[in-house]
Amino acid sequence: MPAKKISKKIPAVKAKSKAAKLYYYRMMFDDNEKKNYMKSSLTHKQVEKYVKAYEKTHQKFVNTEFVQFLKKYDKKAEIIEISDMSY
């Protein structure tokens, strides 16, 4: 009778997910002339595509509204508001 080979079960190694890159953009196209920044995981080319789509459906361009629009496509999109500080 041949001897059985005993093989050890190796536990599956969990694949480490890479952290998504976040890009930071200065938003210069607000009709209210507010200076804002935003962060997103979308590339510059993708953001430009969504800016054109947003402009087709909206009369005025407002940064906060655009970021809300962008959240449909990128849940990590977030506006960074800049305000003056005096002391």
Distances (CA, A) of 56 to 2, 17, 29, 53, 60: 76, 36, 15, 5, 10
User: Which tokens is 85 given?
Assistant: 């500080």
In a domain, 6, yes or no: no
pLDDT at 4: 66
In a domain, 10, yes or no: no
In a domain, 12, yes or no: no
- Is the model's pLDDT at 11 over the cut of 90? no
In a domain, 50, yes or no: yes
Count of structural domains within the chain: 1
State pLDDT tens for residues 22-57: 999 988 767 677 778 899 999 999 999 998 999 898
In a domain, 66, yes or no: yes
**Structural domain of residue 33, as residue ranges?**
23-81
DSSP letter (8 states) at residue 12? P
In a domain, 18, yes or no: no
Question: Could you tell me which residue, 76 or 87, shows the higher pLDDT?
Answer: 76
Pairing of β 23-27 and β 78-81: unpaired
pLDDT band at 64 (very low <50, low <70, confident <90, very high): confident
pLDDT band at 18 (very low <50, low <70, confident <90, very high): low
In a domain, 4, yes or no: no
